[in-house]
Chains A and B, each alone.
Chain A
């Protein structure tokens, strides 16, 4: 069969939709769910899914459930992050209404670089209009996408930002700064972690680890 190709933005749109469905539904979504999420007929969706399967982005099970490969999951997660960051910027900083912010984000998410999104994310985090009051933990609210606790033993990750910055001085002193590559050396069932940073092992409580936003290291 002739190798079919699809547009990069189509691939990203599909993976984004599957990622959200899998995340919210907590199980591999079915073809019709993907179709309705993308507002497209099933007949149009199926060929693209086949190509994504050949691309090694997704695996279609015997019963029609779509699960993501690590490669697909990674790309899907990045697109979701771009979308959410852009939408947040448009609606909360520029004051656009919800649907237009979302539509605009849908278009731009395919063109914007990871670096720009990270910087925009940091900007939003410290933006005075968005500063949230502290909750019970001094470590603030959850990370927007992935925290250190979302990764497993042996994973290498890059620190994006640290929530609860006022209290994060000890982390900064130990070298856990944005841009630093750290390795998860040990993860207990309760999410307490040992990370290796700058050649030293640092033990972290679950709530501290959950406040360190990271991304998988390239």
Chain B
């Protein structure tokens, strides 16, 4: 048996989910969708019940991936009971979604969460009255304190029933629903969607479209707007009947600091810099433990086996890929995503998006694009995957280009390992500076030449709250999973392919061809070209390969400071890795993947040549 949690973002669905299922959560993609679904199990009276946490949405009528997924999930009757989670402090707005879900006539119960917060702000909610009005069982819970959580599963098992509540629509809409039901025997919820232009059935779509056009002409308002207004009015009516407002004491509003230009923007910078520095320090420390340990306990014994050359080459490539992957994944990527998910769980990221809106407009984007770009500091792959929150093709394209340039964890390793270690910390910062200037120049250029529309930010600012460790861990895990299961396999395959190329001598031949170019244009030794080539596949390996080919880990003894600096900046600007190209291709198509790759490679070579020219 399966139950599903449904509700607006930020109502505490995930908290309830974690309280019900504990750890051991599975994150899966629903067939045919890019949206992650969390599933967990709960045992009740010797029965195993599966619980699905549907993504937070505001409406069931929209066309976003999340909305479409939840709609399909409900349409396919995947759950024995839908558990609608409402936020007691925002009951009226939350009822809007519940009324839409109610149209589907699925067995439901409702959970009014954050009842403790509502009480603190002087709101009393008459859940019995609400239950009568909605025609389903309503439970008041305080998920953070675990209050009444134990009543949810029994209630869903025993008293789940299709809701009795029916939103009264404008009489023209009601007439349309009746006529569609009579002529095509379409259920109410499907007719409502069809009137708003969402339908798979061509016959229904055509009839609904002509009716909708008539209604729109009569009302001078879109059908969607009429329906939305009707639902909001009915939600207000319901909320007014069950909420009693008592003595209210206004708590200190932290937003009076966070969302003003001053001190909001300095705070934003301080937080971002603090997060990046922390990740850098903790990451380098952990990497210093993991990488040598891997060499001592795995790679050295493998070499000692003395296998024949071909298997040895393949095995070694595999192990080096694993070492590099884990040397990045856990120290840097995981640390970063823990920090980021912590920030996200506090609700701060929506404030950051609001403050960044202006700056992002200059780059041809808007506030919401800040979040994918910050994610990009961890790993480019999940960052590119998260740009689907942007609405238009233009915004997605610009964001994709910029994200591939943002210094991800692997590039941080290159900067730390080459520039900070052999030239100095100051010069490492100049690399960041050059990259950020290039990102801004690229954005200014792209926002002029990219065709398409700008959408703008519409974001609910979720209330600020104390983050919960379990939720932070789950979110960080989802993101690192994208790194482990998408980026890592590509890394391993290309590493082996490169190993084979090297074994067959093709790589040396290639080096011979590129060497003169490297020498004259970039002023780098021939073996640096191989290292850079490796860098296209696995960024952090650029620097390891350099050490191997140079024959010493003390790079300062074989290359000049200018050469090291040029090498570092080229490998940082080069497209991060094949996994990024793959994920660009999957999310934005071949054209953008090729353009972004070619652009970053040319930019890397151009800047490298420029530095070489100036410093010679």
A203 touches B461 (CB 8 A): yes
A179 touches B229 (CB 8 A): yes
B59 touches A173 (CB 8 A): yes
Please measure, in the bound complex, the distance between the C-alpha atom of A44 and the C-alpha atom of B438, giving whole angstroms: 66
Residue of chain A at shortest CB distance from B63: A169
Over the window 137-173 of chain A, the binary record of Cβ atoms lying under 8 Å from chain B Cβ atoms (1 yes, 0 no) is 1110000000000000000000000100111111111
Closest CB in chain B relative to A211 CB, distance in Å:
8
Residue of chain A at shortest CB distance from B366: A205
| Interface-lining segment among B86-94, B128-136, B501-509, B514-522 | B86-94
| Chain B positions within 8 Å of A178 at CB level | 221, 225, 229
Closest CB in chain A relative to B243 CB, distance in Å:
10
Residue of chain B at shortest CB distance from A177: B229
Q: A205's contact among B92, B221, B457, by CB below 8 Å, is which?
A: B457
A172 touches B225 (CB 8 A): yes
Is B294 an interface residue, CB under 8 A from the partner?
no
Is A201 an interface residue, CB under 8 A from the partner?
yes
| Interface-lining segment among A1-9, A46-54, A192-200 | A192-200
Chain B interface residue bracket vs A:
35 or more
A172-B92 CB under 8 A given contacts A138-B455, A203-B459: no
Please measure, in the bound complex, the distance between the C-alpha atom of A192 and the C-alpha atom of B261, giving whole angstroms: 11
| Chain B positions within 8 Å of A186 at CB level | 255, 259-260, 354
| Interface-lining segment among A33-41, A83-91, A109-117, A119-127 | A119-127
Is B543 an interface residue, CB under 8 A from the partner?
no
Is B237 an interface residue, CB under 8 A from the partner?
no
Closest CB in chain A relative to B344 CB, distance in Å:
15
Closest CB in chain A relative to B87 CB, distance in Å:
9
Is B96 an interface residue, CB under 8 A from the partner?
yes
Is B575 an interface residue, CB under 8 A from the partner?
no
Is A208 an interface residue, CB under 8 A from the partner?
yes
Q: B90's contact among A137, A171, A198, by CB below 8 Å, is which?
A: A198
Is A94 an interface residue, CB under 8 A from the partner?
no
Over the window 173-213 of chain A, the binary record of Cβ atoms lying under 8 Å from chain B Cβ atoms (1 yes, 0 no) is 11101111000011011101010011111111111100000
Closest CB in chain B relative to A154 CB, distance in Å:
12
A205 touches B93 (CB 8 A): no
Closest CB in chain B relative to A134 CB, distance in Å:
8
Is B179 an interface residue, CB under 8 A from the partner?
no
Is B45 an interface residue, CB under 8 A from the partner?
no
B453 touches A138 (CB 8 A): yes
| Chain B positions within 8 Å of A165 at CB level | 221-222, 224-225
Is B431 an interface residue, CB under 8 A from the partner?
no
| Chain A positions within 8 Å of B358 at CB level | 188, 190, 192
A177 touches B260 (CB 8 A): no
Is B357 an interface residue, CB under 8 A from the partner?
yes
Closest CB in chain A relative to B519 CB, distance in Å:
48
| Chain B positions within 8 Å of A180 at CB level | 232
A174 touches B58 (CB 8 A): yes
Please measure, in the bound complex, the distance between the C-alpha atom of A126 and the C-alpha atom of B212, giving whole angstroms: 14
Q: Is the interface of A mostly helix, strand, loop or mixed?
A: mixed
Closest CB in chain A relative to B215 CB, distance in Å:
11
Residue of chain B at shortest CB distance from A193: B354
A169 touches B224 (CB 8 A): yes
Closest CB in chain B relative to A195 CB, distance in Å:
10
| Chain A positions within 8 Å of B367 at CB level | 192, 203, 205
Is B361 an interface residue, CB under 8 A from the partner?
yes
| Chain B positions within 8 Å of A189 at CB level | 261
Residue of chain B at shortest CB distance from A134: B453
Residue of chain A at shortest CB distance from B59: A173
Residue of chain A at shortest CB distance from B463: A201
Closest CB in chain A relative to B97 CB, distance in Å:
8
| Chain B positions within 8 Å of A198 at CB level | 90, 92-93, 232
| Chain A positions within 8 Å of B456 at CB level | 137-139, 204-208
| Chain A positions within 8 Å of B228 at CB level | 169, 172-173, 177
| Chain A positions within 8 Å of B89 at CB level | 199
Q: A169's contact among B62, B216, B357, by CB below 8 Å, is which?
A: B62
Q: A202's contact among B260, B355, B366, B461, by CB below 8 Å, is which?
A: B461
A194 touches B354 (CB 8 A): yes
| Chain A positions within 8 Å of B457 at CB level | 192, 203-205, 208
Is A63 an interface residue, CB under 8 A from the partner?
no
Please measure, in the bound complex, the distance between the C-alpha atom of A178 and the C-alpha atom of B453, giving whole angstroms: 25
A199 touches B354 (CB 8 A): no
Is B300 an interface residue, CB under 8 A from the partner?
no
Is B480 an interface residue, CB under 8 A from the partner?
no
Please measure, in the bound complex, the distance between the C-alpha atom of A128 and the C-alpha atom of B228, giving whole angstroms: 22
A205 touches B357 (CB 8 A): yes
Interface residues of B in 423-481 (CB under 8 A from A): 453-461
Is A61 an interface residue, CB under 8 A from the partner?
no
The 26 sampled A-B contact pairs (Cβ below 8 Å) are: A123-B220, A126-B220, A127-B220, A136-B454, A137-B453, A167-B455, A169-B62, A170-B458, A172-B225, A174-B93, A177-B232, A178-B225, A180-B232, A185-B255, A186-B255, A194-B354, A194-B461, A198-B92, A199-B93, A203-B353, A204-B458, A205-B456, A206-B361, A207-B456, A208-B456, A208-B458
Known: A203-B350, A208-B456. 4 other contacts (CB 8 A): A126-B221, A137-B456, A173-B61, A205-B458
Give residues in A with beta carbon < 8 Å to B: 122-128, 136-139, 162, 165-175, 177-180, 185-186, 188-190, 192, 194, 197-208
